[in-house]
Structure 1
Amino acid sequence: MSRILYDRLGVASTASDAEIKSAYRKLAKKYHPDSRPGDKAAEEKFKQISAAWHILGDPAQRKRYDAGEIDEEGRERVAAGFGGGGFGAGGFGGGRNAGFSGFETHFDGRNGGFGGGFADLFEEILGGRGPRAGGFSDMGGAGMGGAGGGGPGRGGPGMGGSVPDTEARITVSFTEAALGATRRISLSGAGELDLKIPAGATDGTKLRLRGKGQGGGDLIVRLEVAPHPTFRREGNDIHLDLPVTLAEAVLGAKVDVPTLDGQARITVPAGSSSGRKLRLKGKGVPARSGVGDLYVHLKIVLPDQPDPALQAAVKDWAEAHPQLDPRRNLKG
């Protein structure tokens, strides 16, 4: 059994699903391009980490990888007797992830009716925005409901029934999912089209592209949202921890904080404690259900090294205020 993907995430091949997810989130946060802008090595590392998670994070895919049925890129391993090329175009072979690449983008094509991988349907992911954004329906994150809802795909010639949907996954950044974005994708034999990611999309959101799947069926694209090094999302609200100095917490200050659309200035009230929550109204996720808020959690950070002057000042202050007991209401 190959250990390459496990090594990328720094886990044992016997690691639990929770351990794999935890390792991925930790590494993704460390190497995310938003935390290391311009660092090409980090971009490549993030790409490798995402590719490893793409397979090991899916129990069915992980099982196939462990069994040697697919390689580190998700390509089908050709069994002896079929030759090096597998089945030809339009057959059931071909690499699950063959023929495409792209930073922060990874597809996994699956067609429930054929038992084979169809991610080779995607040749590459092209960055930037394009003029076309139609041809899909937002199906929501919970399942196949919503516009263009579930059920079998359209019928095809010679099938004697309906053509199953082709499914794929794409990893998008936290910001792309929150604010919305357009990804141009190239489909094998079907030209290019723009995939519009709606603002407020969540992990698991499904988009339907009608008639763009295998055999004329529909293509279902499921979004996977990469973690952000700074922001946490709860519904349409965004939360972040803001480090402040002791002086800023005691005396008050005006400090800059990052938001989805740039920097904003916030007032830290004098006498603020760690954990105090401040709100920037309307700076959350602009979803269809309403715009969320940005919540800033203050975190007082002391000097890394002991400061004799600070210690002396605090000692004098403590001796002058012996009655102060922040734990007076704490009960067991």
Structure 2
Amino acid sequence: MTSIADPDYWSLLGLDPGSDGDSLKSAFRREARRWHPDLNGNDRQAEERFKLVNEAYAVLSDHDRRVAWERRRNGRSFSQDPFASGFPDFEEYLSVVLGIGDPPEPDRAESTHNEDQDEPERRPTPSPQPPSPVRSQDNLETTVVLTPDQALRGTAVNLELADGTVIEVDTPPFAGDGWRLRLEGVAPGGRDHFLQLQVVTDEGLRIDGLRVLYRLELFPPDAALGCAVDVPTLSGSVTLQVPPGSSSGRLLRLRERGLSWNDRQGDQLVEVVIVIPAHLNDDEQALYQRLQELSLDQGRI
């Protein structure tokens, strides 16, 4: 059985499902900058990732498109829409579906007879109940750990389902850490089963196609003044010169330190991440306070 990767737009942007608009815009700017072809030597893999990032933002920022995408990922088709045949009366909907309020009294036909005249009591015909809401069950997910070579070339993964059934799934070539593969309708009840790919080395190198990603944590003085630091690569440690004035999110390239495929050679991107020590001694705190004062005087804050 072969699975086709169905992009998880939230994961693609590094967001939790349902994140707000500001977070969405911020993540889009960050990922678009990271994967822009001009910043990646016109790498084909970067171009494809850049297209996916733009596609993710276009879908998640548009309410109707996001709803349609989420419905498709949850395995729901429009024919399963409980309101496909029309919407029930709003009061009935609140009463039956949400369980609040009293059911509305059915309409009574106006009588033209004399109020003093005796007539047999008529019982109104009850209105039909609206359809019960469709409750989607949670999808299942399994984490699959791959080596860089398995992610690059693709590999067969055996997955055992809850009922004991074992299926074989072929991961696509040029896969990357954080990718999700959708196995549609294989779980009990017709649910989907997702494979979350994990491709990270012991040194913290994340694999994505031919590219290698690494987060370099620096203290503020090192990022501000620049420094030389040893960085792991797939072929051993190298010394990287961090330029002065490097802010969090800055990407530094180690050319041809990624994976190779035929005549193509990927790069390694090193992302600068500034970290603040959890505990400052008195001298360090005094220096940061002085730096804050200087920044205020120069209008930087």
Task: Assess same fold via TM > 0.5.
Answer: no
TM-score using structure 2 length: 0.38
TM-score using structure 1 length: 0.35
- The structure with the larger Rg is 2
Higher share in helix = 2
Which structure's relative contact order is higher, taking Cα pairs within 8 Å and 6+ residues apart? Answer: 2
